[in-house]
Structures are given as C-alpha cells and as structure tokens.
Amino acid sequence: MERNESSRNFILLGFSDRPKLEMVLFFTNTVFYFLAVMGNSTIIFLSVVDPRLHRPMYFFLCNLSLLDLCYTSSSIPQMLVNLWGPQKTITYMGCVIQLFAFLSVGGIECILLSVMAYDRFVAVCKPLHYMTIMHPQLCLRLAACAWLTGIANSILMSPLTMSLKRCGHHHINHFVCEMPAIIRISCVDTRHVEGLVFFLAIPIVLVPLAMILVSYGYIIATVLRIRSAAGRHKAFNTCSSHMIVVSLFYSTIIYMYMQPGNVASQDQGKFLTLFYCLVTPTLNPFIYTLRNKDVKGAMWKVLGKDHSLLDAIGH
C-alpha cells in the first residue's frame, strides 16, 4: 500500500471551489511573486556589493531575504500553474519537496528572527560594545544554528508526515503540500504526530518568541531612559521594522501550527498560508528599505544617483 501511495500524484484542490476567484488570484499572485523575487533579490544583492551593508544587521537581513525566496519559490510557481489550468496535480516528489521546504524555512525563520532581535538588543542597549559582541564569527554561528535547527526539524517531521497511511486519499484541500493539510487526508490516528508537532513547536516557535519579547522588553526599558526625544525616536526606528516583520510572521505561524490539524478552518488555513508564504515575503523588503537610510543609500549608489545630494534637496 505505501509503495503504491508513494507512486501516485496528489491533487491540490486549492481554490477550485471558487473558479471566479482563481483568475483573480492568478494575476494578483503573479504580481506579488514578481515583487517578492525582485525585492528580496535586491536586498541580497545590495548586502553583498555595498561595503556599508557588511554589518551584522544586514547579514541577518540577507539570510531573511534568502528564506523568503525559498518560501515563495517552493510553492507559488506550482500554485500559479494550478490556478491557470484545469490540472491541479503535483507529483509525490514535488509534494515531499514542498513539505520539506515549508517545515525547514518556517523553523529557520523563527530562530533567525530571535537572532535579529538579539542583534537589535545589543545595538540599542550596548552600543559601545556592539561590534565587539556581534563579531563575524558569532554571526555565522547564530545563522548556522538557525539553518541547521530548521532543517533538522524538517528531516524529522517530513518523513513522519508523509508516512501516515492515506488509504488511497490523494486530494489535498490546499494549494500547497503543507503539514496540516496532509495530516487531514490521513486515515489513521494522527494524535502522536500532532503531539510531536506541538512538542517541537516549543523550542522552535515559542522559545524564540520568548527571546524576542525579552529582548524588546530590555530595548523598551533602555529607550524610555533616553532623555532626548530625538534619541528615543532613533532607537525605536532602529527596531520598528523588525517588530513589524515579527508580528506578521508569528501571528500566522502560531495560528497554523500550535493547534491540531483538524481544528483549524481549512479556508482560513489557505488564506493564512498564502499570507505568510507570499504576502509577508513581498512586504519584508519594503518594510526594511522604506525605513532604512543605509539600504536606500546603497540602492541609489547602484543606480548611479548621488543620494547625499538628494537628501540635501529633500531637506
């Protein structure tokens, strides 16, 4: 049975129950996907070519952009193909790759966002020792820890999820092979898998979130002790972009993965998945660049513009 199941394609039902919505989503998602790829690729390119961005904050931002590219590229092209035509199929191996990518990238991003929060904590609370504490070796180790932990989680959970007996069921009521959707089509008791998901979510989701909250607790306490309004504004501005990204990401991830697979509304699950695998990766580059003078300066430099002159004209 398992051998037979592993040789069959899956049907991703997606939004096939709403045919009028499919064309709207196709064109909307095509635009979002293009913006996500261009925006995150630009962040990576600027972080590599501009010496002013060879700092810990931008090293981690470059990692975040790479993760966002992995999120979108592992699911959206297949989704666009399925939205455009009547065929909604995905191969078994394609489904495995999507599941592995989603679990890996989700875990990596949770930990990476906590690392970025620690970086902002050091920048605001210990500015004189920032470069000493956040030295290149530590940054590499922290990033490697995030990547290895996320991949290890996926190596454990992906085979376990795909090994659940499906009794011939191969219609997935989703547009992507995501773990909650695959658990739903299983014909056996999945409580042990769901329990393991919840257990692993503690070190991968909740502990990083706690570290983020603690870091920002110290940051807020430090900022409130700054007497000048300009100093407080500068400190908050340093962290605001990251706080927005954390809020967008964690609000959807916790809702999706911190509850049993059969409890969440399937329609809600589709739109939430679409939000964090496409909308959030599209917004992240704009959230960071629109509020960051260094990134905007690097962009103007690449475009051959004199950014300092433009700033002077603006003032």
Q: What is the CATH number of the domain that holds 14?
A: 1.20.1070.10
The β-bridge partners of 11 are 89, 171
34 in a domain, yes or no? yes
Name the pairing type of β-strands 10-12 and 89-90. antiparallel
Whether 272 has a pLDDT exceeding 90, the answer reads no
In a domain, 312, yes or no: no
Read off the pTM: 0.87
Edge to edge, what strands does the sheet with 171-172 contain?
89-90, 10-12, 171-172
Q: Residue 103: which of 272, 253, 262, 282 has the closest Cα?
A: 253
Q: pLDDT tens for residues 18-69?
A: 888 888 999 999 999 999 999 999 999 999 988 888 999 999 999 999 999 9
Name the E strands within the chain.
Answer: 10-12, 89-90, 171-172
For residue 240, give its domain range.
Answer: 10-303
Number of domains forming the structure of the chain: 1
91 assigned to some structural domain: yes
- pLDDT of 228: 79
- Inside any domain, residue 2: no
Question: Is 294 part of any domain?
Answer: yes
80 domain residue, yes or no: yes
**Is residue 311 one of the residues assigned to a domain?**
no
Is residue 310 in a domain? no
Across the range 278-303, mean pLDDT stands at: 82
